């Protein structure tokens, strides 16, 4: 899968150290970051004029000083307002400050409350402001003078470009630490950080630019991921095999052009187990989602008491009472939409079947309340040669992990890894920036979606879509050209999110139709 990598602050420090150990100096890394920042400023500045860089005393500030030097090579007037006295700067930061001054950069100090007027004076003269105050290492709430600096910057009407991450945003969780810079643009250094995507971080990041290439090799990023697992017991350690952002390029791989001689059996038969009194729509929406993602056939197996209602409401999706359902030839199963909480015995029987399965909604709540079913779910990975995907929203995830939903949301990346470690299956943790995790510890972030998806039934459509992908994957498993499960599952989540961003719909059934149209265009032309 095409990858935009994501790292924690600690993992980035390890990658930097590996670069230095290999022979690259800290000065060179900072110099390359400064060049990338300067180029980004030249691209983003609305007009020729003065660039004002607000610099802290650490490496982020050093990147700002390095950027000033390169901007001066383009004869751009630059003022650095430093929040640390120049004579207190050390190491590479001091070296780049000296280089920037030699190139003609104005350096002004705003190191006390009385000097904040100096900051405001230069903000009013800027055509663009560079936030080089704090980088990924900030781990405390901003208070006092630093809080006032950020407030002043946010009050200005100038565009702001943040280096690496908006100052005040936690690089690992995306939470605001007291107050944070509201950037218009953010330039990640070497790789994106979790704080760009999670919680409030995405709102403060602005336009996320392509990561600056400063010479950090892919192997060093992978080593940093692996080393995080060696220190998994340490506070804030995050053990992961890989972490990346989904890329639109996977869509054409997940939905290639259909062969002329193909038929409905070529695309799999998805069986949905769900429905109960008052909740007859959920399995129907899952069926529509399966068709929308390209399944050849979709059937519902529902409790006998609601079968007449569901059967009468469907034209495309076949409906059968559970007591007589002949589902043994299913390509994949979707279990749980609208099912109610009295299906524990049937769920146990289905978990014992060697078939690809999506476990959603009420089935997850049944498992959360039953330790025996939890064990059975965890055993599927070793006992059966099939894919299992659970699709919890934050509340369901909290029940499965026996923790409060707020704790799940505070650190979604750790929550999803806890789920896949506990149950040994693929996990789709729904919500803003839906996450996907594999049993082997790979995690993928979906950057698409909108608050329009916060409507009843949208998750049922997604469950059906993933079921369709598993059905197609099962049919093609003997083919050496089979697309990986990561691509198939991620593509379903991505297309669902992309459709959710579109206007002109507000009901989940309409969402399924929108998904179907987009999927067909991908199959026909390789684009959305």
Terminal CA-to-CA distance of the chain, rounded, Å?
A: 18
Strand arrangement, sheet containing 106-109? 106-109, 78-82, 50-55, 126-132, 160-163, 185-187, 207-208
Q: What is the structure's pLDDT at 48? A: 94
Query: What is the C-alpha to C-alpha distance for residues 21 and 424, in angstroms, rounded to an integer?
Result: 36
Tokens 């099912």 belong to 339
Query: What is the C-alpha to C-alpha distance for residues 337 and 393, in angstroms, rounded to an integer?
Result: 13
Q: Are 300 and 322 in contact (CB under 8 A)?
A: no
Its pTM stands at: 0.94
Q: Is the pLDDT of residue 344 over 90?
A: yes
Tell me the domains of the chain and their CATH numbers: 4-230 (3.40.50.10260), 342-525 (3.40.1190.20)
Q: Is the pLDDT of residue 522 over 80?
A: yes
Q: Is the pLDDT of residue 528 over 60?
A: no
Q: Which residues pair with 390 in a beta bridge?
A: 359, 427
Q: Is the pLDDT of residue 479 over 70?
A: no
Query: What is the C-alpha to C-alpha distance for residues 528 and 499, in angstroms, rounded to an integer?
Result: 10
**Of 450, 419, 422, 452, nearest to 434 (Cα)?**
450
Q: Are 191 and 12 in contact (CB under 8 A)?
A: yes
Q: Which residues pair with 38 in a beta bridge?
A: none
Binning pLDDT at 50, 70 and 90, where does residue 342 land? very high
Q: What is the structure's pLDDT at 1? A: 41
Q: What is the structure's pLDDT at 442? A: 96
Q: What percent of the chain has pLDDT over 90?
A: 88
Q: Is the pLDDT of residue 131 over 80?
A: yes
Query: What is the C-alpha to C-alpha distance for residues 197 and 432, in angstroms, rounded to an integer?
Result: 9
**Of 335, 309, 310, 307, nearest to 321 (Cα)?**
307
Q: What is the structure's pLDDT at 314? A: 86
Q: What is the structure's pLDDT at 526? A: 62
Q: Are 249 and 2 in contact (CB under 8 A)?
A: yes
If 0-12 CB within 10 Å is exposed, 13-18 middle and 19+ buried, where does residue 47 land? exposed
Q: What is the structure's pLDDT at 113? A: 66
pLDDT digits (tens, 9 = 90+) for 33-69: 999 999 999 999 999 999 999 999 999 999 999 999 9
Which DSSP string do the residues of 196-236 spell out, in sequence order? Answer: GTSTTHHHHH-EEPPPB--S--HHHHHHHHHHHHHTTTSTT
Mean pLDDT of 17-25: 96
**Of 272, 154, 234, 246, nearest to 192 (Cα)?**
246
**Of 380, 488, 360, 358, nearest to 424 (Cα)?**
380
Q: Is the pLDDT of residue 114 over 70?
A: no
- DSSP SS3 for 351: helix
Residue 14: other Cβ atoms inside 10 A: 20
Per-residue tokens: 166: 């908006």
Q: What is the structure's pLDDT at 234? A: 67
């Amino acid at each position: 899968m095409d990858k935009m990598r994501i790292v924690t602050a600690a993992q980035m420090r390890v990658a930097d150290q590996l670069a230095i150990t290999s022979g690259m100096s800290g000065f060179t890394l900072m110099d390359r970051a400064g060049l990338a920042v300067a180029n980004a400023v030249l691209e983003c500045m609305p007009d020729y004029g003065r660039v004002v860089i607000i610099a802290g005393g650490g490496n982020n500030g050093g990147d700002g000083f390095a950027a000033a030097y390169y901007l001066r090579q383009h004869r751009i007037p630059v003022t650095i307002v430093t929040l640390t006295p120049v004579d207190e700067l050390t190491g590479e930061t001091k070296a780049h400050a000296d280089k920037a001054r030699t190139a003609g950069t104005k350096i002004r100090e705003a190191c006390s409350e009385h000097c904040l007027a100096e900051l405001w004076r230069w903000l009013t003269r800027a055509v663009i402001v560079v936030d080089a105050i704090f980088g990924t290492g900030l781990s405390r709430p901003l208070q006092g003078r630093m809080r006032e600096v950020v407030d002043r910057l946010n009050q200005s009407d100038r565009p702001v470009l943040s280096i690496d991450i908006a100052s005040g945003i936690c690089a690992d969780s995306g939470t605001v630490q007291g107050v944070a810079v509201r950037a218009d643009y953010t330039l990640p250094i070497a790789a994106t950080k979790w704080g760009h995507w999670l919680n409030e971080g995405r709102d403060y990041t602005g336009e996320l630019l392509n990561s600056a290439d400063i010479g950090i090799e892919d192997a060093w990023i992978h080593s940093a991921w692996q080393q995080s697992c060696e220190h998994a017991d340490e506070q804030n350690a995050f053990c992961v095999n890989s972490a990346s952002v989904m890329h639109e390029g996977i869509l054409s791989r997940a939905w290639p052009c259909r062969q002329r001689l193909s038929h409905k059996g070529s695309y799999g038969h998805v069986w949905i187990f769900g429905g109960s009194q008052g909740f007859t729509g959920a399995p129907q929406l899952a069926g529509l989602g399966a068709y929308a993602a390209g399944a050849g056939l979709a059937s519902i197996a529902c409790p006998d008491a609601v079968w007449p209602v569901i059967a009468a409401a469907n034209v495309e999706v076949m409906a059968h009472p559970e007591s007589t359902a002949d589902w043994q030839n299913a390509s994949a199963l979707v279990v749980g939409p609208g099912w109610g909480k009295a299906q524990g015995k049937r769920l146990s029987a289905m978990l014992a079947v060697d078939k690809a399965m999506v476990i959603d909604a009420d089935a997850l709540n049944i498992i959360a309340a039953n330790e025996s079913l939890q064990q059975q779910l965890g055993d599927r990975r070793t006992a059966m040669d099939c894919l299992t995907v659970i699709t919890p929203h934050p509340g369901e995830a909290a029940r499965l992990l026996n923790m409060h939903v707020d704790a799940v949301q505070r650190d979604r990346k750790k929550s999803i890894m806890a789920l896949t470690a506990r149950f040994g299956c693929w996990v789709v943790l729904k919500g803003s920036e839906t996450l996907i995790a594999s049993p082997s510890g790979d995690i993928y972030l979906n950057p698409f979606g909108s608050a329009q998806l916060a409507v009843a039934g949208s998750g049922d459509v997604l469950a059906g879509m993933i079921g369709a992908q598993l059905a197609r994957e099962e049919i093609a498993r003997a083919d050496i050209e089979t697309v990986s499960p990561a691509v198939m599952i991620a593509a379903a989540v991505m297309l669902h999110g992309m459709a959710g961003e579109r206007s002109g719909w507000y009901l989940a059934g309409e969402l399924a139709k929108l998904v179907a149209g987009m999927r067909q265009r991908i199959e026909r032309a390789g684009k959305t």
